[in-house]
Amino acid sequence: MNDNKMILVGIEEKKGEFEGRAYHNYCFHFNENTGKPNIIGKSTGVLKVKAENLNDVFGFAPTTADLNACLGKSMLVAYNRYGQPIRIGFEDTKSK
């Protein structure tokens, strides 16, 4: 049985300038059981959210404490038709 949950393990804030353009993003680092035969253990990934969209993606303005409380939880992500995250929810990994 493939338990394909994205478990949040870290959140990184990145901001700066690249080729004259400012950027400010939050990178959500996660582990995932993909069930792919060529991966031993868990796969890792990063979900990038622009800082200007963070409140919309969460549905509220998350504080550092709110973000910290998400660590270790399963991420539930909804994407728009362009593959960009439009909503992130979290559930305890032990709830199911």
pLDDT for the residue numbered 89? 92
What value does the mean pLDDT of the chain take? 89
For residue 4, name the pLDDT band (cuts at 50, 70, 90): low
pLDDT of residue 36: 77
76/41: higher pLDDT: 76
d(CA 4, CA 82) in angstroms, rounded, equals 22
pLDDT of the residue at 3: 55
The residue ranges of every structural domain in the chain are: 6-88
| C-alpha to C-alpha distance for 86 and 12, rounded to whole angstroms | 18
Buried b (16+ CB within 10 A) or exposed e, 24-41: ebbebebebbeeeeeeee
Residue-level pLDDT at 59: 92
For residue range 15-59, what is the model confidence (pLDDT) as tens digits? 999 999 999 999 999 998 777 788 888 889 999 999 999 999 999
This prediction's pTM: 0.84
